[in-house]
Amino acid sequence: MNNKLLVLGTMAYDAIETPFGKTGKILGGCATYIGLSASHFQTECGLISIIGSDFEEEHLNLLKSKNLDLGGVDQLEGEKTFFWSGKYHNDLNTRTTLETQLNVLTKFNPKVPENFKDASIVLLGNLDPNIQLEVLDQMHKKPELVIMDTMNFWIESYRDKLDELIGRVDVISINDEEARQITQKHSLVEAAQDLQAMGPKYVVIKKGEHGALLFNGNDIFCAPGLPLEEVFDPTGAGDSFIGGFAGYLVQQKKISFEAMKTAVIVGSALASFTVQEFGTSALEKMTFEQLVQRIQAFKSLTEFEIELI
Ligand code: AMP
């Protein structure tokens, strides 16, 4: 296993509204959050994405400064970057998409750079399943681990291709609402069983502020959500989670249920930083020491002793 992590996803501009305020156009996109999150680990991380000529130099420099390899990022002259705007409801766990402008995404022909065709872990971020499949098809051999994410936008209109993709991945990471939407099961345990029957050996179901569940056969691991005093903007929490999850696994060069339990905690800790400020700000500033402290907080939160007799 090598330490290469290949990430496919959007690099975007977002406009976000939460009960605490509203942003103008800010940096977003799942590849952006995943890359920033994974950059905290010892990995050679390459992004595959597409941007327009409006994508600011400052944002490219930010990603380069985190040692992210942008060889797979195409910039189209005279075109606009993918734009998404969303509004969070009072509980911050649910949101409504106000606008999705695909822009450059409609012209996206992803090209995996030669030096990433042997990446051990491929993370197919939330995107058109046709594009996710195209990336997988360009790999020299089957990667050690293929992880995928998706969202309602793609589940509603691309179901056949999505099912084909689910059949080819090892890990699917989605939120509770998406798991129910795909399987039509209310119980998350049943939903996870159905998802495993579709292909992936491992299923991660994110439950927003209530943590995440990891399923593998009959094994289940439950990670808590860290009770935070202030949550400003949940955008990118799922991407930061999975970026940390994959970054940790590739650094450890280990793929097992045991390693994934720790990876889920690491991902949850990263996501807990992301939600504390609008956009990518908190994730950009976070230090490795702060991350370690927060992982410790997760440990203390769930550690208890019990004597039954
Ligand atoms: P998350 O909050 O983890 O679901 O991810 C939020 C990010 O996903 C935002 O920064 C958006 O730019 C990006 N996004 C929103 N809609 C889509 C979509 N349909 N496909 C790909 N990325 C999207």
Among 5, 15, 102, residue whose Cα is nearest residue 48: 5
Q: What is the DSSP letter of 277?
A: S
Distance 307 CA to ligand 1 centre (A): 46
The mean predicted confidence, pLDDT, of the chain is 96
- β-pairing verdict for 95-101 and 26-28: unpaired
Residue with CA at minimum distance from ligand 1 atom 20: 127
Distance 253 CA to ligand 1 centre (A): 28
Question: Active site includes 239?
Answer: yes
Q: Rounded CA gap, 70 and 274, in Å? A: 22
Q: What is the DSSP letter of 105?
A: G
Distance 76 CA to ligand 1 centre (A): 20
Probe residue for ligand 1, chosen from 84, 150, 273 as the CB with the greatest number of ligand atoms within 8 Å: 84
The CA-CA-CA angle for residues 271, 267, 2, to 5°, reads: 135
48's tokens: 């595959």
The reported pTM is 0.96
Residue recorded with tokens 């089957």: 142
pLDDT at 249 over 90: yes
For residues 225-229, give the mean pLDDT: 88
164's tokens: 């084909």
Q: Rounded CA gap, 111 and 263, in Å? A: 28
Q: Please, which residues have CB within 8 angstroms of residue 53's CB and are 6 or more apart in sequence?
A: 75, 76, 77, 78, 79, 80
Q: Helix, strand, or coil here: 104?
A: helix
In the structure, what pLDDT confidence band is assigned to residue 309 with cuts at 50, 70 and 90?
A: confident
Probe residue for ligand 1, chosen from 151, 162, 280 as the CB with the greatest number of ligand atoms within 8 Å: 151
pLDDT, one tens digit per residue, over 25-58 is 999 999 999 999 999 999 999 999 999 999 999 9
Q: Please, which residues have CB within 8 angstroms of residue 116's CB and are 6 or more apart in sequence?
A: 4, 6, 46, 69, 71, 72
Residues with a CB atom less than 6 Å from ligand 1: 10, 12, 14, 28-30, 84, 100, 126-127, 151, 153, 235-239
Nearest ligand 1 atom, CA 239? 3
Catalytic hit among 69, 170, 233, 239 = 239
Q: Rounded CA gap, 88 and 76, in Å? A: 31
For domain 4-301, the CATH class is alpha beta
53's tokens: 């000529």
CA dihedral 43, 25, 281, 12 (to 10 degrees): -10
Nearest ligand 1 atom, CA 14? 12
pLDDT at 229 over 90: no
pLDDT, one tens digit per residue, over 120-139 is 999 999 999 999 999 999 99
Distance 29 CA to ligand 1 centre (A): 5
